[in-house]
Structure 1
């Protein structure tokens, strides 16, 4: 077989292996969620409710891409900064007796957040040692927050790749006793077919994670599927202060509901 034929075939075999692994992770993650799905629209049956984990006191770790890193927000107004403020003395989350450690990095994809030894196709990026799950778990978090809203899709990765990678992060953390909560995709200036992929990612993640997926895309989107002007930073990708406040509010509400994890008292 010529080398020109072998490289694509090799990649196809690798991606087929990832798809099979994803099915296994999806099955394992039937117990990842903290509650049933909330109208995901997915044809797959959502897992039944599981007992929400009681969070221990201690630090939380946030990993993800530019929105989690604070892009588009004024100083101190990103959703991560607002969350960190809530964990401070006298804040709404002060009972956690910890702080938010943010290892998010703009421009990254879910592949770069995977553990370093995770398999991947030859044309997919390697993990970043200071921004991946290995780093997050080395910080011994009481809670892991994962936020990769749209870079995978912008890079033309498939729905299954993104879902598989995020579920692998969640399950790996769970195996080490660390509960996770995941933020959904966000609207972005994209072709309609790519916007539809974001819809599919959210549906599949909600089917697997239940209440441990915080859906924000619909609230942030305008009629055209792009970021609504009220929440847009102006570059077609990032959120302004109001958009970050919406993210923070949705995440905080889910945490306070106790349907995914139960906060320390």
Structure 2
């Protein structure tokens, strides 16, 4: 009996020594829940390289023959040559107006669209942008909104940009297959916008349009509303040659 007990104790001692000679790492339990990787976004770290676009269908890419030919894609590629960390976050969507991009907490306006809580200024601010671009070239006028209400919506946006100390750029109207009176409004409102926010408006309306602000044939994608590849080039070049934009993104 004593001999058997000694043999058992010896065997246990050998097992203990062998176990101690291995690396002390806990085995992976397949039933243990694996925690998700932590992303930069989930850490809520302030990003200084985000450029956010609020806009409509042209900024979304409509009219171009491919994504690669849109002004936003080309601008994104250009900025990567300036700073590889720069990222364009494009929140634009077809049909959008100055009402769609207003702040989530803003008061609702009767017979006007609600703010899109996925694509508005409130979302843009959460991206901690170093620049915000607003490109809403004709949908407000197409929907029959007055110059006064459109301008007030821009003023509300800009007031927030200024309060948050965020550089901003607004784009001009674009040609559209409107009546002459509506096309004249495109020109007059662009002038009003530039006068109200001097040094913040890129104006390419006259480059894309003829003397009566319809699309020049070489820039019309065919629907009278959106620019083609060449038209997107005009917009892209207007950005990279605009001094306030170059200053905001660090271009020489």
Q: TM-score range by the shorter chain?
A: 0.7 to 0.9
Q: What is the TM-score of this pair, normalised by structure 1?
A: 0.73
56-65 vs 224-233, which moves further: 56-65
Q: Distance in 1 between matches of 2:121 and 2:114?
A: 12
Asked whether the 8 Å contact 2:76–2:87 carries over to 1, the reply is yes
Aligned to 1:58: 49
Matches within 5 A, 1:1-265: 57-75=48-66, 76-88=68-80, 91=81, 94-95=82-83, 97-254=85-242, 257-258=243-244, 261-264=247-250
Task: State how far apart, in whole Å, the 2-side matches of 1:169 and 1:100 are.
Answer: 19
Q: Structure 1 CA distance, aligned partners of 2:213 and 2:170?
A: 21
Of 193-202 and 79-88, deviating more is: 193-202
Gaps of 5+ in 1: 1-55
Give the CA deviation at 1:262: 4.1
The structure with the larger Rg is: 2
Count of residues in Structure 1 that have an aligned counterpart in Structure 2:
204
What root-mean-square deviation, in Å, do the aligned CA atoms of Structure 1 and Structure 2 show?
Answer: 1.8
Preserved contact between residue 181 and residue 212 of structure 1 (Cα < 8 Å): yes
For residues 157-216 of structure 1, give each alpha carbon's deviation from its aligned partner in whole angstroms, at most 9, with x where no partner exists. 011111111221122122112110011100100011111221221111111211210001
1:113 counterpart SS class: coil
Indicate the structure whose relative CO is greater, using CA pairs within 8 Å and at least 6 residues apart.
1
